Amino acid sequence: MGHQELHVHLEGALSHEFLLSVHREQNPEFSLENLISLFDYQDFRGFIGVWIAHQKLLFQGGVDWEQRVFLMVQDFFDRLMREDIEYTEAHVSPIDAMWCEYGPQVIENPASYQGLIMAWDKAFNYFNRVRGFRAKYIVDLVLNYPQEILEWQWRNLVEVLPSLSCIAGIGIGGGNTTRQRISFKEVFLDARSRGLMTVCHAGELPPQALAEIEVLEALEIGAQRIGHGIHGIDNPRILEELASKQVVIEISPTSNLFTKSITSLEELPFRLIQEWQIPFCINSDDPTYFHTTLAREKKLVEVFL
């Protein structure tokens, strides 16, 4: 039977070949060694820096977005076949692409945002059909943008929602910001009432006290799955709530090592979540950025399960 993967960012799962071809549009001399050296970060901040640079390359300056998205989804489906992943819900971050192109003027370009979401949907729909998958995507609203941008994204997404066939739900990614997850509460409640899944990155990085606040906020806004959630859960009140609501903890081992969220796999809270019977899944997060595959991630933590 094939694998399932619930926490993977499509933009972080593009093949080396694909990223190389994108770099070479700007710089024909760009080599595989150049590309691999980009993925040599020291921490979460370094990782985000490369992520943003790639968003710019993918979506900035006269690129035909619909065509770009089509080829990205094609490359992503190649990975699903290569890695025998039969079902996935992949994060996509249209607001990051919008921001790279328009900056704060995104708000004046609702048609571009809606067009981009519809391009993701169209491409998923097409490749599901021709390759016999039923993969879905999650629209990441991204924590880092101001409240007005959050509400603007949601308003525009709601308008096109009836025409989308492959959307699984909405998510909160990003990080390294003082913006609070609680400000997503109304949007999350509205999304749930419209039958969308709600997922939220929280408790990815130490310190414990801050991670605990993030996880509590993720629970407060009604997240059905928590991305990472490996810090800040060692508290009976939180564990009980995770267990009673059956909130899924999405664990991505190598990602956590790369971003220095943990220093060894022994720090992952498998004992705790198994003791409390909290559902969890193993994921690759951004496999290209962390030099890994889903099968490798599963193998790495086999000993703890």
- Residues in contact with Zn ion, total (CB under 5 A)? 2
Toward Zn ion, which CB reaches closer, 48 or 300?
A: 48
3-state secondary structure of 88: strand
- Give the integer Cα–Cα distance in Å for 195 and 192: 5
Toward Zn ion, which CB reaches closer, 174 or 269?
A: 174
Q: Which two three-digit tokens encode residue 34? A: 């150049």
- Cβ burial of 237 (10 Å; 0-12, 13-18, 19+) is exposed
Work out the angle between the directed axes of helices 185-193 and 147-160 (0-180°, nearest 10).
Answer: 10
Residue with the CB atom nearest Zn ion in the bound state: 285
Toward Zn ion, which CB reaches closer, 122 or 138?
A: 138
3-state secondary structure of 201: strand
N-terminal to C-terminal alpha carbon distance within the chain: 19
Q: Which two three-digit tokens encode residue 248? A: 């899924």
Smallest distance from Zn ion to CB 129, Å:
27
Please name the residue that has the structure tokens 């590309």: 35
Toward Zn ion, which CB reaches closer, 9 or 122?
A: 9
Per CB under 5 A, 11 contacts Zn ion: no
Smallest distance from Zn ion to CB 174, Å:
9
Toward Zn ion, which CB reaches closer, 76 or 122?
A: 76
Stretch that binds Zn ion, among 55-63, 189-197, 219-227, 269-277 (CB under 5 A): 219-227
Stretch that binds Zn ion, among 95-103, 132-140, 222-230, 270-278 (CB under 5 A): 222-230
Site map 268..287 versus Zn ion, x via CB under 5 A: -----------------x--
Toward Zn ion, which CB reaches closer, 13 or 106?
A: 13
Toward Zn ion, which CB reaches closer, 18 or 289?
A: 289
3-state secondary structure of 40: coil
3-state secondary structure of 197: strand
Biggest CA pair distance of the chain:
55
Q: In what order do the strands lie in the sheet with 225-228?
A: 3-9, 85-92, 136-140, 167-172, 197-202, 225-228, 248-251, 280-282
Smallest distance from Zn ion to CB 26, Å:
26
Site for Zn ion in 223-242 (CB under 5 A): 227
Toward Zn ion, which CB reaches closer, 122 or 197?
A: 197
Residues 6+ apart with CB under 8 A from 26: 57
Is there a contact between 168 and 197 (Cβ–Cβ < 8 Å)?
yes
Smallest distance from Zn ion to CB 81, Å:
22
Smallest distance from Zn ion to CB 60, Å:
23
Rg of the Cα trace of the chain? 18
Smallest distance from Zn ion to CB 25, Å:
27
Residues binding Zn ion (CB under 5 A): 227, 285
